[in-house]
Amino acid sequence: MELKRPVTIFDTTLRDGEQSPGCSMRAGEKLRLARQLERLGVDVIEAGFPISSEGDYNAVRQVAAEVRGCRIAALARCNPTDVLRAARALEPAARPRIHTFLATSDIHLQFKLKITRQQALEQAAKAVALARSWCDDVEFSPEDATRSDVEYLCRVIEAVVEAGATTINIPDTVGYAVPREFSRLIETIRARVKVIEKAAISVHCHNDLGLAVANSLAAVEAGAAQVECTINGIGERAGNAALEELIMAMHVRPDAMPYATRVNTAELWPTSRMLSEIISFSPQPNKAIVGSNAFAHEAGIHQHGVLSNPLCYEIMTPESVGAPGNRIVLGKHSGRHALANRCAQLGWPVSGERLNEVYAQFIELADRKKNIYEQDLLAILGAAKIPTAEAPIARAQSASGD
């Protein structure tokens, strides 16, 4: 068997994810999710941005003290106050990492930071050296890397690696890159920055064009050794690369992506549900891997196929991601096969002419109603007992809450 190249999974749900509107978390909630991320098997948990608030400082400290199975990272801008604050918050960590960042694109330097390229380069190197004096694991991110001048970007990377950075994270801060161009950027950095072997290359992609996962995988193919991602793809604006999508892409297509991670795929669904509960919103129903419809089938031809052999229309099993099982949704696109299956499950097996009658009535009703409830079907079947369940039949199928 071909040897798989290891890829480090850096989860930033508690930092970048938390920055998205409506996603802020209290310290106790961060700790609960951090423990689940540890069970999931991520390598690095970015727990927060300690300088941003007293609450976040405490949250990072708490996660650092109690979650021992992962590396714990804290974010800091490139100045002594931020770096010191991050170092303090990480004091209890078994394996701490300080993550510093400074923009390198002209638009950020000119309008946001109001400093020259040379000043930014020196500031970055100084902050990294300071961080290294506190911690032997230091990550540096040239913010807005994909819109930075490549020559200059390479000079900054060289300076920070020489100052002691152990991971160089290339962020597509504004979600502007496309896969081929992004992988070329990684190749360029590997070719031009002589000292780059001393550090690992990481990527951090945003999803403004829906390309975060594709860009991340393109970068891994070009040699990136770490990907930054979030559960359910939450994060600034359109979000970050979704962890569950990256993992399952590698899991389902090892022929195309022979990379190894420590993630236990069966914990993906439970982690997604825990996050949804904490932030009070779920991913959209058609979200890959963890959406409520990710394993649902309504079309008759599909239902027949799935009931005979799930592989007809499923490239992975719901069980492989810890989901409660595929849902055969009864609606106007359903066929006799799925209907007969459901009737039998309800204790009313039908076949032959009787099935045709029930089917005709069912389709007539499904044309008028969006959701067919269990009691609707029982009424058609002429069952005496009408159950009180309020949930549509579509949901009555799943074993646990989804």
Q: How far is the CB of 73 from Zn ion (least distance, A)?
A: 13
Q: Which is nearer to Zn ion, 16 or 402 (CB)?
A: 16
Q: Which is nearer to Zn ion, 16 or 158 (CB)?
A: 16
Instruction: Write the CA distances from 276 to 27, 30, 33, integer angstroms.
Output: 16, 13, 11
Amino acid sitting at position 136: D
Amino acid sitting at position 185: L
Q: How far is the CB of 172 from Zn ion (least distance, A)?
A: 9
The C-alpha atoms of residue 355 and residue 317 are separated, in whole angstroms, by 30
The Cβ-side half-sphere exposure at 393, using a 13 Å CA radius, reads 25
Q: How far is the CB of 122 from Zn ion (least distance, A)?
A: 24
Q: How far is the CB of 171 from Zn ion (least distance, A)?
A: 6
Six-digit token string for 98 = 């300080």
Residue nearest to Zn ion (CB): 16
Site for Zn ion contains 139 (CB under 5 A)? no
Q: How far is the CB of 335 from Zn ion (least distance, A)?
A: 45
| Binding-residue pattern over the window 65 to 84 for Zn ion, x denoting contact by CB under 5 A | --------------------
The DSSP bridge partners found for residue 171 are 204
Q: How far is the CB of 277 from Zn ion (least distance, A)?
A: 23
The C-alpha atoms of residue 313 and residue 207 are separated, in whole angstroms, by 27
For Zn ion (CB under 5 A), the number of binding residues is: 1
Q: Where does this chain touch Zn ion (CB under 5 A) — which range of 16-24, 152-160, 178-186, 245-253? A: 16-24
- In the block, which residue shows the tokens 């269990």? 374
Kindly state the greatest CA–CA separation across the chain. Answer: 83
When binding is defined by CB under 5 A, the residue of 11, 16, 137, 244 that contacts Zn ion is 16
**Cβ neighbours around 68 below 10 Å, total:** 12
Q: How far is the CB of 359 from Zn ion (least distance, A)?
A: 51
The C-alpha atoms of residue 57 and residue 145 are separated, in whole angstroms, by 27
The C-alpha atoms of residue 247 and residue 254 are separated, in whole angstroms, by 11
Q: Where does this chain touch Zn ion (CB under 5 A) — which range of 12-20, 26-34, 296-304, 359-367? A: 12-20
Q: Which is nearer to Zn ion, 74 or 358 (CB)?
A: 74
Cα–Cα nearest to 339, from 368, 312, 364: 364
Site for Zn ion contains 46 (CB under 5 A)? no
Chain positions contacting Zn ion, by CB under 5 A: 16
